[in-house]
C-alpha cells in the first residue's frame, strides 16, 4: 500500500493530485448537469449576427456537434484531422423534424440525402466540396480564421440580418426558433 503522507508530514504528490481531481470533478458537477440539459434544447438558427464556427469533433460528441456546426453561418474545419458526420442512420436514431429542418435548410439536397442515409464521414476537404464547411485549414488556423471572419462580418445591421435569415431558413426557424432576442437593434 502506498503511503499518503511522507516522513516529513507532507501529503504525497499522488494523494494531492487524487484529492484535487476529485474536488474538481465535484465542483464541475453542476456544469455537467447544465451541459446535459443544453444538449437536449433545440438548436436555434437565425441569430441576428453572422456566426462563425470552428469545427473539430471526435466521435463521442458527433450526434449533436454535426447539427450545431451547420447551424452556424460559416463553418471552418481542420483539413488534416476529424470529420463531420450524421451518425443517426448507423445508430438507429431517427431524425426529429427540427433536426431535419436544420439539415435541409443548410445543406445542398444531395449532400443532405447522402449524409442522412449513409452516415458518411466527411473530412475537411470533402466537407468543403460537399457544401458542409466553408473552409478547411490547418489545426493552428481553425480558431484564428473563425475569429477573423467573425470580425470581418461584425457590424451588420441586426434587424436586416434577422430578416434575411428568416427568409433563408423559414421552416427551420419556425420549428426550432430563431434565437433572436426581443430587441435586435444596436
Q: What is the 3-state secondary structure (H, E, C) of the chain?
A: CCCCECCCCCECHHHHHHHHHHHHHHHHHHHHHHHHHHHHCCCCCCCCCCCEEEECCCHHHHHHHHHHHHHCCEEEEECCCCCECCCHHHHCCCCCHHHHHHHHHHCCHHHHHHHHHHCCCECHHHHHHCCCCCEEECHHHHHHHHHHHHHHHCCCCHHHHHHHHHHHCHHHHHHHCCCCCCCCCC
Q: What percent of the chain has pLDDT over 90?
A: 23
Q: What is the mean pLDDT of residues 34-39?
A: 39
Residue 50's pLDDT band (cuts 50, 70, 90): confident
| Mean pLDDT for the stretch of residues 76-103 | 89
> Is the pLDDT confidence value at 116 over 90?
yes
Report whether pLDDT(137) > 90. yes
- pLDDT bin (cut points 50, 70, 90) of residue 126 is very high
Q: Quick one: pLDDT at residue 20?
A: 41
Mean pLDDT within 89-118: 92
Q: What is the pLDDT of residue 69?
A: 82
166 compared with 34, residue with greater pLDDT: 166
On the question of pLDDT at 30 being above 60, the answer is no
**Average pLDDT rounded to a whole number, residues 116-121:** 94
Residue-level pLDDT at 53:
74
Q: List domains and CATH numbers for the chain.
A: 52-176 (3.90.226.10)
Amino acid at each position: 500500500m502506498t503511503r499518503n503522507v511522507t516522513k516529513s508530514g507532507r501529503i504525497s504528490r499522488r494523494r494531492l493530485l487524487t484529492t484535487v481531481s476529485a474536488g474538481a470533478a465535484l465542483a464541475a458537477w453542476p456544469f455537467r448537469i447544465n451541459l446535459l440539459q443544453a444538449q437536449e434544447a433545440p438548436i436555434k438558427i437565425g441569430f441576428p449576427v453572422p456566426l462563425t464556427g470552428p469545427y473539430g469533433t471526435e466521435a463521442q460528441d458527433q450526434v449533436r456537434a454535426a447539427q450545431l456546426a451547420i447551424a452556424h453561418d460559416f463553418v471552418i474545419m481542420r483539413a488534416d484531422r476529424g470529420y463531420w458526420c450524421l451518425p443517426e442512420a448507423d445508430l438507429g436514431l431517427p431524425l426529429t423534424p427540427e433536426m431535419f429542418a436544420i439539415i435541409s435548410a443548410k445543406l445542398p439536397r444531395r449532400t443532405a440525402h447522402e449524409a442522412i442515409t449513409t452516415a458518411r464521414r466527411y473530412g475537411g476537404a470533402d466537407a468543403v466540396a460537399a457544401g458542409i464547411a466553408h473552409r478547411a485549414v490547418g489545426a493552428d488556423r481553425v480558431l484564428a480564421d473563425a475569429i477573423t471572419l467573425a470580425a470581418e462580418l461584425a457590424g451588420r445591421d441586426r434587424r436586416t440580418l434577422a430578416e434575411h435569415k428568416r427568409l433563408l431558413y423559414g421552416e427551420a426557424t419556425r420549428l426550432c426558433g430563431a434565437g433572436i432576442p426581443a430587441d435586435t437593434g444596436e
